[in-house]
Amino acid sequence: MQQFTRRNFLATTAGALTAPLFLPSKALGRGGSVAPNEKIAIGSIGLGSRGSDHLRTLLPRSDVQVIAVCDVFRSKAEKAQQKVAEHYGAPGCKAYQDFREMLARPDLDAVVIAAPENWHAIMSLAALKAGKDVYCEKALSLTVAEGRAVCDAVARHGRVFQAGTQQRSDRNFRFACELARNGYLGKLQTVTVGVPSGKRVLHLPVTPPPADLDYDLWLGPAPFKPHRDNLCTYNWYFLTDYCAGWIQSWGVHHMDIGLWGAPALTASTLAVEGTAEFLTEGDADVSFGWAVKLTTPDGLQLQFHDDASSPVGHGCRFTGDRGWVHVTRGGIKAEPAELLQTVLKPADEHLYVSREHQTNFLECIRSRREPVAPARVCHAATTATLVADIATRLGRKLTWNWKSERFVGDSAADRLLNRTMRSPWQV
Amino acid sequence: MKKLTFTLLLCASLNITAAPLPDDVAAALQTLQKYEYGQPRLPLFTLEAFSGRATAKPEQQQALAAAYLKVLTAGDSTAAARIFACQQLALVGGAAEVPALAVLLNQPEQTDFARLALQAIPAPEAGAALRTALATLTGKPLIGVINSLGERRDEPSVPALSKLSKQSDDAVRAAACLALGKIGTAEAAVALPADAVEARLLCAERAGGITAQDIYTALSTAAQPALRLAGLTGLVRLDAARATPLLTKAIHDADSALALGALRVLGQLNGDAATTALVAELPKLDATRQVALLVILAERRTTSARGAVTALAGNGDEAVRVAALEALGTLGDASSLPTLLLAAAEKKGAVKAAAETALVQLAAPGADEAFVKAIASGAAGERIAAINAAAIRAQTRALPPLCAALRDSDESVRAAAARAVGKFGTPDIYPQLVALLGAAQDTEVESAIAAVGRRMSDAHARLTPLLALLKLEGTKVATQAAVLRTLAGIGGDDALAAVRERLTSNDAALHEAAVRALCDWSDGAALEALKGLVLTSANGTHKALAMRGLFRLAPTVKNGACWFGDTFAAMQTADEKRQWLGALGTVHEADALIAAEGLLKDPDVKHEAALAMAHIGKTLVAAEPARILEYMNAVLAAVPTSTEAKAVRAEAQQALGIKSAHSSARRQTLAAGLPAAAKIVAYLDCGVEQQDKAKDGVTLRALSGQNWTWHGQSENPAALTAVFAGGRLKFEASGLQPQKHYQLGFTWWDYDANGREQSVWVGGKQVLAKTALPAWQGKQQGPLQLAVAIPSDAIKNGKVAIEFRGEGQSNVVCSEIWLVAASVPFATVTATATLTVLPAPPPAARVTQPEVRANAGAPKKILIVTGCDYPGHKWQLTTPVLTAALAKDKRLEISVIEDASFLGAPELKKYDGLVLHYQNHQIPAPGPEALANFRQFVEEGRGLVLVHFSCGAFYDWTTKTVSKDFLPLAGRVWDSKLRGHDPRGPFRVQVTDHAHPITAGLADFETTDELYTCLSGDVPIQVLATATSKVDKKIYPMAFTLTPGKGRTFHSVLGHDAQALGESVGTLYRRATAWAAGLPLDD
């Protein structure tokens, strides 16, 4: 049984009331550096391209101490450990190959998870149960059932969980959703979401895994299949054993925005139908292109595409009977253009303001406030993408019920909401 | 008995036994059985697609499940096939499949695979099978079965799991506990030990009632704070009212995480009890917790906390104040205004910022009236805060007090009021503002007048008060100057007249104000007066200002050039001329060109003149290409280095259909490289030319992309200009004739080594797979010229869409593109099937029957066997190049097949010679029978030509050597123990045997290729050519012959890619093929 000990952020001396040792979010005016016992001790799981990005932004933060790094490629873990040591000018960061060892440390406060999709739920749950707060890359999980387990665990343990849907901390996306929610576009009719298409995976022959890779641990819950040289870096995105493809892992970003701006989409049920194209050469077995419609009983429709087939290209567009707003990471446009000059009235709904995603996570760790992209929100977006994917594979119209988290009258579709994990893994 | 009969009847009525699977599915199942990783995915894709759809029809689903079961249980199925079958059975399997799956389940190595299906099959039989396995398995397989039962929420397994939860093995015990937790019945809860916290929490959530109550209560008094929090959270969910006091106590706990967590939970409760508790506790908490609670109260919109919140906003801990003030934005009402204003009046900092934010957000009724009062009176700082907030809130009801505040005794209040009025003031206050201007000059008021004036559509209403003020007796000069400045922003004839009047004023200050106003005028009406100033003003400053104004306004009116013409005489210094030219360059009229042309002769400013003319020319070139061409030639005569003028000239030439010199030269060069029957019908030097339209109607157009020029050297200057786009470059060819065959040629180059990889698509189908572009910087690779046949079915109504797609790191580029037409087909590059929308499965991609590609009907029949290979050898690209090289000998009829298994076919003997362009690196060799057939083919007296990587054909994957039965045919084969080859690069091939018919008369030559160093064998051969390795300095054979039986083999290791199959190597292979086929060779 784990010993639950949390470091106490408050000073225990009587003078604490007049001179608090830390200030939440926007309070200014504290010159000088942060004392060591106030830093948030973070461990990084997964040091591929995205994990390394996160490490790069964590290291310069004065309120964070990276004390552990972990990757199934021992060389990646060790390289990251070196980088951390160089940055701090001191040793003290430990390298791991097995995340379970890292999570057993009582001095770890929070983890950043950037591993393939099929690991998200397992690692998140293990961390939550071990008393750690979690930042986990999108999508929330590989399957809907796993996502539900994560949401329940976050609530059960009262932890802070930030999903890597960082667009929620981008002013343009928030503004677009505020326009949509406050009726500035009139009655909302359509939400169009376009994200990059899938990719080919070059077939390479079976090769033995490199010596520094714990391949069995890399596979984890996925069925045992032989190693190929391009498998463990990037290409797993396009193999259903590890991820449902960019329909899920990219789709979740703009789908999340779509749901944020049009909450009616998650209010009751959705009629889901669509088609997808698949490649027949190379190894990729996820969808390459897709076109799916998700419609509420009142007729509000989300059209979910890969951006080559999207009628409006890449990004998220909210269209109402008085105009539309289209937002991407590159910018925002609207018709009529004056919509972009809109100043929200005091009585309008103002959405959660987060100026930077990682910062928001760290602030919430101290304040215990729910962050801008909590598990339950990413779960909805992930579920929407997975439901879309399931509809394309079954080739028939489905009805999704948000409350029961099941399809209506389609037990075959329900089977696809979960997957068997290789022993001993479970969520 | 009865049951059986019923089942039989049911079967009969549903016709289960007679549900066949579609042919393609049945075929795919056959292929599946022997499937190994690395084989084409098509059959798996077919099956995956069908599995999904079959779930709509029970008979189909059952038939499919049975078929998968057959694959799973057949003795000779591959492991890969079995895993696939299990994964599909997860979707389509049913009770019928359970018995066989259960057998697998109980075999420890197979347990996980069987679970793939069993966990997902809803039928109770599956659960039963899993339960049974609990007794037979141990260790990891047992854990897997436990996990599956937990996922299934399988209640009948509770007794067995309870036993397992007491086992000594930690991992088994933990798994069993967790499974019990997921099942979550009261019985399950009873079995759980006290330390299985997670499991107990799960049980509590699922079971509810007394079970949950007990679990949560126990946890809520645990030693560890986190457990207490979990317990309290649970208790609240069961009975919020009863748990509220416990929570309220917990928010004072020493452990801050517990306290803050408890606050969160309490905050999520609706209802008065929670509200009362929260409000009551607020003053009792320490600073950190207060901050958290304040945020919660705001989110919760607990307006009853307003008083308590307000109490914390006034003074004390800064963080608490900030949180309290922010909370008031949501919770506050009119009565909160004083507190907020006081805080907003503090010096710059977090508190001030929080208060300002809250002031803007305040939405309660009565807030607006409160603002009105606050603006009217109070301390200056607070009034200003109210004024600023009112401006952002755009409260029109605040305008009257704001206008009053414009005359306030306090300067900062006045300034704030003016700014606010400027932001949202309405037309009706305009006269007041103007009157104010009369009373006291104030730049803020001026700005406000201008801002409000801009929002007024009635020009007369804007002007009249201002003009009245101007004419008023006793109006101070300073005021008049202020009015003049304001008039400039408003514009109009009357205003202009007023300004012009004062241009001749005796008062220097007024004169100056008038000049400045004129120079800042908002429209072209001021131009006449400005011209006058420029030409006649003695005051240098005034002239400069007037110039500035004129240059700004002239380009905005029609015939703007004439203003420049008229004022040229006044441009005396080079600097003035430059300013003049700079502005002239923005006038989009031909007259502007005429005006600027004169200065091309002026050595001080000729570069600026050139630039101006180029800018003007660019805007006019589309409409008047011929005229602009003349002008650009004139510019370049005076300033030959003007790149802008060159670009415009190129555009003009293009529009006129004049080809640049090097474009024509390229076209000729390319034409020279073609066979006689083929002609270039269109050519585009991308990056310079957008369209080529021939007299016979064939048009080639670039539809997208931007032009780019790399600065560097190249033999082919066209390669340095390119068109680029982010992801796709689109071209269109039209006017194509139905009876002709077309080939697409292009040059591409990754000059700046950006990792570019691209594919080519014609008519929506891929004709060239993802290919890396040659890179120049750092790698020294030159541009690559490629040709791809355009499939006839891609041309519709004489049109075809051509697309280059970026598949690599960077964007997509193309340097040149052209079309070749001929009356016979070109060698095609086959596209492998990529896209399909179900239900129709795609057609097979490979050419599996020989297809004639060149010289149909010629006496000697040659077959190129290719089709599967290591990805580094682009056989799709090299095959057509090889075909074209061989086809130059008209006696050879060239066919191509992309399936090496044809080597085992009796039809092989119809051919006189084979060209082997294949290696089975990925797909297994055709097998010993095929090899034997192939050997007989050659030894009976026919020809064989081996190209490059074919030395590795018939590779045995288990022994990792080339089959020894291939050696007598090939002479030498790839030896994987030897070093493979030099890095690809240039080297010299030396002909060593000038007597042999193939090489008689051939000179040594240079080529760029991989110099192979990996052959071995002891069969006697005649070496025809060699090369020396740059790596180990040894000499290696590049080409040799041998005579197996009565046959003739020529074997060369040259030809890694299209570039390596150039002129000399192509000639070598052509002569070799003719020789192998038994034809005489003449030089």
Answer yes or no: do B806 and B868 share one domain: no
In a domain, B100, yes or no: no
Range of the domain at B750: 669-822
In a domain, B1034, yes or no: yes
Q: How many other CB atoms sit within 10 Å of the CB of residue B210?
A: 11
Q: Do B295 and A369 touch (CB under 8 A)?
A: yes
Answer yes or no: do B981 and B1064 share one domain: yes
Chain B residues within 8 A of A26 when measuring between CB atoms: 322, 350, 353-354
Answer yes or no: do B818 and B859 share one domain: no
Chain B residues within 8 A of A204 when measuring between CB atoms: 871
Chain B residues within 8 A of A222 when measuring between CB atoms: none
A151: left (phi over 0), alpha (psi -120 to 50) or beta: alpha
In a domain, B1035, yes or no: yes
Contact of A17 with B286, CB cutoff 8 Å: yes
Answer yes or no: do B905 and B1047 share one domain: yes
- Closest by Cα among B283, B213, B277, B211 to B249: B277
Answer yes or no: do B815 and B856 share one domain: no
Answer yes or no: do B699 and B793 share one domain: yes
Answer yes or no: do B779 and B870 share one domain: no
In a mutational test of the B interface, the residue from A420, A421, A427 whose CB has the highest number of chain B CBs within 10 Å is: A420
With a CB cutoff of 8 Å and minimum separation 6, the contacts of A181 are A261, A262, A263, A349, A351
Buried b (16+ CB within 10 A) or exposed e, A134-157: bbbbbbbbbbbbbbbbbbbbbbbb
Answer yes or no: do B881 and B816 share one domain: no
**How distant is the Cα of A71 from the closest Cα of chain B, in angstroms?**
23
Answer yes or no: do B801 and B874 share one domain: no
The mean pLDDT value for A223-249 works out to 93
**How distant is the Cα of A289 from the closest Cα of chain B, in angstroms?**
9
- Determine the Cα–Cα distance for residues B536 and B554; give it in Å rounded to an integer: 18
What confidence category does residue A163 fall into, taking pLDDT thresholds of 50, 70 and 90?
Answer: very high
CATH number of domain containing B712: 2.60.120.260
Average pLDDT along chain A? 89
Q: Do B56 and A394 touch (CB under 8 A)?
A: yes
**How distant is the Cα of B293 from the closest Cα of chain A, in angstroms?**
10
Q: Do B350 and A346 touch (CB under 8 A)?
A: no
Q: Do A368 and B263 touch (CB under 8 A)?
A: yes
Quickly list DSSP for A378-395.
Answer: HHHHHHHHHHHHHHHHHT
How many Cβ pairs within 8 Å bridge chains A and B?
223
pLDDT for position B673: 76
In a mutational test of the B interface, the residue from A9, A38, A132, A156 whose CB has the highest number of chain B CBs within 10 Å is: A156
- Determine the Cα–Cα distance for residues A385 and A399; give it in Å rounded to an integer: 14
Chain A residues within 8 A of B175 when measuring between CB atoms: 424, 426
The CA distances from residue B500 to A223, B475, B491, in Å, are 87, 18, 12
Answer with the one of B768, B803, B822 that is the final residue of a domain: B822
Tens-place pLDDT, residues A50-100:
999 999 999 999 999 999 999 999 999 999 999 999 999 888 899 999 999
Q: Indicate the fold that domain A14-26+33-167 takes in CATH.
A: Rossmann fold (3.40.50)
**How distant is the Cα of B616 from the closest Cα of chain A, in angstroms?**
30
Q: Do A394 and B37 touch (CB under 8 A)?
A: no
Instruction: Find the residue in B nearest to A392 (Cα).
Output: B52
Of A9, A205, A288, the CB nearest to B835: A288
Q: Do B318 and A27 touch (CB under 8 A)?
A: yes
Residue B364 has φ and ψ, to the nearest 5°, of -65, 155
Superfamily name and number for A170-351+375-415: Dihydrodipicolinate Reductase; domain 2 (3.30.360.10)
In a domain, B137, yes or no: no
Amino acid at site B593: L
**Three-state SS at B568:** helix
Contact of B121 with B151, CB cutoff 8 Å: no
The CA distances from residue B536 to B380, B527, B531, B568, in Å, are 51, 14, 8, 13
pLDDT of residue A359 exceeding 90, the answer is: yes
**How distant is the Cα of A367 from the closest Cα of chain B, in angstroms?**
6
- Determine the Cα–Cα distance for residues B391 and B575; give it in Å rounded to an integer: 45
> Based on C-alpha coordinates, what's the Rg of chain B?
44
Domain ranges of chain A: 14-26+33-167, 170-351+375-415
Q: Do A20 and B287 touch (CB under 8 A)?
A: yes
In the block, tokens 């070496």 appear at: B1023
Contact of B517 with B470, CB cutoff 8 Å: no
Answer yes or no: do B811 and B935 share one domain: no
Chain A residues within 8 A of B263 when measuring between CB atoms: 368
Q: Do B40 and A281 touch (CB under 8 A)?
A: yes
- In chain B, the number of structural domains is 2
- Closest by Cα among B489, B415, B485, B499 to B459: B489
Query: Can you say how many angstroms the Cα of residue B662 is from the centroid of all Cα atoms in its chain?
Result: 36
CATH number of domain containing B993: 3.40.50.880
Task: List residues bridging with A245 in a β-sheet.
Answer: none
Of B80, B233, B349, the CB nearest to A158: B233
Q: Do B256 and A396 touch (CB under 8 A)?
A: no
pTM here is: 0.65
Chain B residues within 8 A of A1 when measuring between CB atoms: 195, 197
Question: Average pLDDT per run of 10 along chain B, which is 1083 residues long?
Answer: 40 48 92 88 92 94 96 93 96 96 95 96 97 95 97 97 93 96 94 92 93 94 91 93 92 90 91 90 92 93 93 92 95 93 93 94 87 91 93 86 88 91 88 80 81 83 85 79 83 85 85 89 88 89 90 90 91 90 90 90 90 92 89 90 84 76 81 79 86 83 84 76 88 91 90 88 88 84 85 89 87 92 64 24 58 88 82 74 90 90 87 87 72 90 92 77 86 86 88 89 88 90 92 90 93 88 90 93 70
- Determine the Cα–Cα distance for residues B599 and B591; give it in Å rounded to an integer: 14
Q: Do B41 and A282 touch (CB under 8 A)?
A: yes
Answer yes or no: do B804 and B862 share one domain: no
Q: Do A5 and B151 touch (CB under 8 A)?
A: no
Q: Is the dihedral of CA B196, B197, B201, B204 positive or negative?
A: positive
Q: Do A411 and B122 touch (CB under 8 A)?
A: yes
pLDDT for position B506: 83
- Determine the Cα–Cα distance for residues B811 and B199; give it in Å rounded to an integer: 53
In a domain, B1068, yes or no: yes
Answer yes or no: do B719 and B868 share one domain: no
Q: Which long-range contacts (CB under 8 A, 24 or more apart) does B516-519 make?
A: B516/B484, B516/B485, B516/B488, B516/B545, B517/B484, B517/B485, B517/B487, B517/B488, B518/B488, B518/B546, B518/B549, B519/B488, B519/B545, B519/B546, B519/B548, B519/B549
Task: List residues bridging with B861 in a β-sheet.
Answer: B893
Quickly list DSSP for B123-173.
Answer: SHHHHHHHHHHHHH--HHHHHHHHHHHHHTT-GGGHHHHHHHTT-S-HHHH
pLDDT of residue A301 exceeding 50, the answer is: yes
pLDDT for position B783: 87
Of B41, B287, B836, the CB nearest to A285: B41
pLDDT of residue A12 exceeding 60, the answer is: no
- Closest by Cα among A237, A246, A247, A283 to A115: A237
In a domain, B489, yes or no: no
The CA distances from residue A186 to A181, A183, A263, B394, in Å, are 9, 5, 15, 22
Tokens at residue A158, please?
């009262």
Task: List residues bridging with B1037 in a β-sheet.
Answer: B1026
Q: How many other CB atoms sit within 10 Å of the CB of residue A366?
A: 21
Peptide bond into B871 cis (omega under 30): no
Chain B residues within 8 A of A152 when measuring between CB atoms: 205
